[in-house]
Amino acid sequence: MDISANITGINYTPHLCRELQEYHIKNFEKVLSKDSAFILKMNNTQQIAVSWWVSAKRTRSYPYARVYDTLGFSGKKVTIIPIFKDEGKEGDRDFLQWDTISLMSLLGVNVIISYYHVAMSSPRYKNKITNQRFDIDQIKKELKKSLCYQSDALHWNLEQIEKVGEIARKALNSYNKISADLGVEMHSEKTAEKRISELLKGKDNFMKLSRGLAQQAQKRESVTEQPKESLVGEKAILTIKNYLGGLYFFTADEANIQNKDVLLIEAKHSRYSRLPSLEDIKDGLIKCFCLQI
């Protein structure tokens, strides 16, 4: 089943947001090692709800669930996303996509595009790194800028997109240094250089490249079967367009048509639990925000 839809507006009231802990900006680096979403006290009067992504890929470490937990905050909301993450030749490498940022704009969340600049060798694999850490000074600088920024998340995020080539270059330089310091072989530098050269051409190239890769991933997912999931309908391809120019390439594990309603079902399996985890549910709810057909 191939479903296309347009979003004309978005309204939501989040009900599953966990209570966020409050931390001071001076403890920011320590907080990132122990909390995925929190309230950051910038000074005596200003606070920001902050979440961060482990990887640029939307299917790793439940990033949507992290963002969801900040949506109940009435003030400014920020999420930190690495431009790309390289775990070493024996691990994964994921790049940020245009429509990830577009979705955050739709939700009113300011994106800070950052990069990892220190890491440790994996104790299990020769050519893999772990315990990666962001460039804290760069993020703090962007957080302070966001306090004074008076335009909406869309305009902030468009400005961030203009920096993707520059930030990607910093990320690659950091990974080259990590590789040399730790003696760990990373993924092909030539491939990363090619991607960076496209990003340096501007946001139109970033959008075109990202969407091509997203469509390829959508097609792969649409024909992938999970034998542990009990399904009775057929998989569906979902292409959602919003008024900001964003395109989202989703898949649904199961789709059924009942009268004039299209029922989209997300399937999960678990060895011990009868229900999906709370992170799975929040991840699904973020996707539902985009499906107001």
Express each pLDDT in 200-235 by its tens digit: 887 778 877 776 676 676 666 666 665 555 556 678
Q: How confident is the model at residue 292 (pLDDT cuts 50, 70, 90)?
A: very low
Domain boundaries, the chain: 13-223
Q: Are 232 and 200 in contact (CB under 8 A)?
A: no
pTM (2 d.p.): 0.87
Q: Are 222 and 251 in contact (CB under 8 A)?
A: yes
Residue 224: what residue type?
A: T
Q: How confident is the model at residue 246 (pLDDT cuts 50, 70, 90)?
A: low
More reliable by pLDDT, 116 or 236: 116
Express each pLDDT in 123-149 by its tens digit: 999 999 999 999 999 999 999 999 999
Express each pLDDT in 247-277 by its tens digit: 777 788 888 888 888 888 777 667 777 778 8
In sequence order, the β-bridge partners of residue 254 are 265
Average pLDDT along the chain: 86
Q: Which long-range contacts (CB under 8 A, 24 or more apart) does 170-173 make?
A: 170/115, 170/117, 170/135, 171/82, 171/83, 171/84, 171/115, 171/116, 171/117, 172/196
**Whole-number percent of the chain with pLDDT over 70:** 87
Q: At what angle do helices 98-106 and 203-222 cross, to 10 degrees?
A: 90
